[in-house]
């Protein structure tokens, strides 16, 4: 039986997670219909999007016609990328055959990006740029962790003979990480050639790939590299607009959740959970104090 033709619809915005998928689609030369989602208007939280595209109300997400001829939806950028390479990268242009060592090593880095780099740098962005008040502890915690993760990449790239994270080629591991490293200055973690020579060369190497370069400008021009030469004040000023809608969107989310409910049940729920949170915070404080007193603090992922 012949496979149905790709019928890819990409729902995305100009963000580090969003461009992972468009970069990959362009690298693979796959046709797709683009749906630019306006995050400032909270389109990713509209019922049609939650029902048909991503119940988590985030971008990127994708739909396609599956091998059974019916529509399939994919969300979480790592899952979307794995789907695309498993289904369409039959020549292993940006992947390795399943079961090889390199396949699993790519998987390591993909999960590392999804569980570490993205969430940590996302929080660095939040505390450094979007929070209504500057909380130095949060800023330091997430910027330091982001820098530590960059060092992990730097060490890996220093050992690489191809200049990519795994083996002899650019893979989904590199593509997943790129948008985040490119947005380092936005997160307040400036890269310099003394500490990160290999990482900085890797950023340029990926831009030099026609597919990646085309895909990074979807759905509108990618400007994150421009901030590498800007001052903190200039970046802060540029973040003002996003700060407004991010705060608004958080308020909407809170309104939807039980914690924001004014009902009697909501009040009870809130009371019980606040008590639980206080108890958890006390025990976490004791654990952190204990861990910090050791030589090598355990790295919690947030």
Name the DSSP letter for residue 170. Answer: -
One character per residue 98-137, x = contact with ligand GSH (rule: CB under 6 A): ----------------x---x-------------------
Distance between CA atoms of 126 and 187, rounded to whole angstroms? 8
Number of residues that bind ligand GSH (CB under 6 A): 15
Q: Are 29 and 211 in contact (CB under 8 A)?
A: yes
Closest distance between ligand GSH and the C-beta of residue 267, in Å? 27
Helices (H) then strands (E): counts for the chain = 11, 4
Given 8, 22, 27, 57, the residue binding ligand GSH (CB under 6 A): 57
Distance CA 224, CA 163 (A): 22
Options 44, 95, 121, 184; binder of ligand GSH; rule CB under 6 A: 44
Burial of 16 (0-12, 13-18, 19+ CB in 10 A): buried
Per CB under 6 A, 156 contacts ligand GSH: no
Q: Does 15 bind ligand GSH (CB under 6 A)?
A: yes
Tell me the C-alpha distance between 31 and 191, whole Å: 35
d(CA 82, CA 69): 20
Answer for which of 14, 22, 63, 77 binds ligand GSH (CB under 6 A) is 77
Interaction pattern, residues 231-260, with ligand GSH; x per rule: CB under 6 A: ------------------x-----------
CB of 58 to ligand GSH, least distance (A): 3
Can you tell me which of 10, 11, 17, 200 binds ligand GSH, judged by CB under 6 A? 17
Listed ranges 14-22, 129-137, 185-193, 220-228: which one lies at the site for ligand GSH (CB under 6 A): 14-22
Nearer to ligand GSH, 19 or 199 (CB): 19
Query: 3-state SS string over 110-163?
Result: HHHHHHHHHHHHHHHHHHHHHCCCCCHHHHHHHHHHHHHHHHHHHHHHHHCCCC
198, containing H or E segment: helix 197-207
Starting at the earlier edge strand, list the strands of the sheet with 71-75.
Answer: 32-36, 8-12, 61-65, 71-75
Q: Which stretch binds ligand GSH (CB under 6 A): 10-18, 209-217, 220-228, 284-292?
A: 10-18
Q: Which residues bind ligand GSH (CB under 6 A)?
A: 15-18, 39, 44, 57-60, 76-77, 114, 118, 249
């Amino acid at each position: 039986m012949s496979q149905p033709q790709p019928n890819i619809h990409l729902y995305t915005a100009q963000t580090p997670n969003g461009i992972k998928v468009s970069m990959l689609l362009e690298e693979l030369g796959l046709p797709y219909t683009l749906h630019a989602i306006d995050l400032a208007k909270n389109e990713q939280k509209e019922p049609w999007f939650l029902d048909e595209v991503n119940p988590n109300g985030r971008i990127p997400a994708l739909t396609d016609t599956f091998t059974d001829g019916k529509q399939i939806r994919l969300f979480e950028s790592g899952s979307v990328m794995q789907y695309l390479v498993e289904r369409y990268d039959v020549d292993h242009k940006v992947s390795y055959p399943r079961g090889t060592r390199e396949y699993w090593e790519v998987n390591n880095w993909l999960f590392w990006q999804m569980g570490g780099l993205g969430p940590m740098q996302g929080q660095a962005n939040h505390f450094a740029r979007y929070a209504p008040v500057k909380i130095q502890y949060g800023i330091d915690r997430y910027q330091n962790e982001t820098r530590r993760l960059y060092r992990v990449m730097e060490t890996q790239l220093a050992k690489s003979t191809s200049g990519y994270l795994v083996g002899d080629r650019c893979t989904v591991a590199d593509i997943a990480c790129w948008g985040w490293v490119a947005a380092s200055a936005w997160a307040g973690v400036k890269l310099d050639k003394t500490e990160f020579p290999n990482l900085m060369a890797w950023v340029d190497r990926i831009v030099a790939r026609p597919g990646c370069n085309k895909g990074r400008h979807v759905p509108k021009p990618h400007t994150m590299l421009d901030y590498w030469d800007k001052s903190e004040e200039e970046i802060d000023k540029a973040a003002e607009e996003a700060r407004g809608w991010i705060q608004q969107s958080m308020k909407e989310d809170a309104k939807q959740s039980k914690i924001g409910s004014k009902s009697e049940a909501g009040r009870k729920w809130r009371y019980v959970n606040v008590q639980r949170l206080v108890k958890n915070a006390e025990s976490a404080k004791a654990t952190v104090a204990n861990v910090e007193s050791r030589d090598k603090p355990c790295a919690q992922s947030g």
